């Protein structure tokens, strides 16, 4: 997925918002993300950039590719679970759009190899 597309920007915004909510509550109440969360954010954005689905991307939770390495996948799931309900309150539009994408199911695996 190219960084300059609407889909990427929307996913990026959602991702950053969720990690920020999580870190605020769990690690640092103010200021920048803690080093762990900052690294997770960088990793997630890089994965997103390499996502073979492009604009048809489902949400990562229902994806069949599983491009995250296991430890980071587990951490991301914790972030999403925690931040999900709060995202709905703080950024309802982002949250609703994310939920709508969740209903998409990738019919087939894309041909291109996952980097
Ligand atoms: Zn943190």
**Residue ranges of domains in the chain:** 6-102
- Residue 68 burial (10 A CB sphere; 0-12, 13-18, 19+): middle
- The predicted structure's pLDDT at residue 107: 54
Q: Could you tell me if 16 and 90 are in contact, meaning their C-beta atoms sit under 8 angstroms apart?
A: no
Mean predicted confidence (pLDDT) in 16-26: 96
- The predicted structure's pLDDT at residue 65: 83
What global pTM score does this model have? 0.86
Calculate the alpha carbon distances from 52 to 43, 47, 48, 84 in Å: 16, 10, 9, 24
Nearest to 110 by CA among 65, 49, 67: 65
Ligand 1 centroid distance, CA of 19 (Å)? 8
Ligand 1 centroid distance, CA of 8 (Å)? 23
Q: SS3 string of 65-98?
A: CCCCCHHHHHHHHHHHHHHHHHHHHHCHHHHHHH
Ligand 1 centroid distance, CA of 20 (Å)? 8
- The predicted structure's pLDDT at residue 14: 94
Q: In this predicted model, what pLDDT tens digit does every residue of 44-100 receive, in sequence order?
A: 999 999 988 877 787 887 788 889 999 999 999 999 999 999 999 999 999 998 888
Indicate the DSSP class of residue 62: G
- The predicted structure's pLDDT at residue 79: 97
pLDDT tier for residue 113 given thresholds of 50, 70 and 90: low
Ligand 1 centroid distance, CA of 12 (Å)? 17
């Amino acid at each position: 997925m190219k960084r300059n597309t609407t889909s990427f920007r929307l996913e990026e915004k959602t991702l950053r918002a969720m990690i920020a909510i999580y870190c605020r509550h769990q690690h640092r109440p103010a200021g920048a993300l803690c080093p762990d969360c900052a690294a997770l954010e960088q990793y997630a954005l890089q994965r997103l950039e390499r996502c073979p689905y492009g604009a048809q991307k489902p949400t990562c939770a229902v994806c069949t590719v599983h491009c995250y390495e296991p430890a980071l996948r587990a951490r991301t799931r914790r972030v999403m679970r925690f931040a999900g309900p709060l995202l709905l309150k703080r950024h309802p539009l982002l949250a609703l759009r994310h939920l709508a994408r969740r209903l998409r199911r990738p019919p087939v695996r894309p041909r291109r190899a996952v980097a």
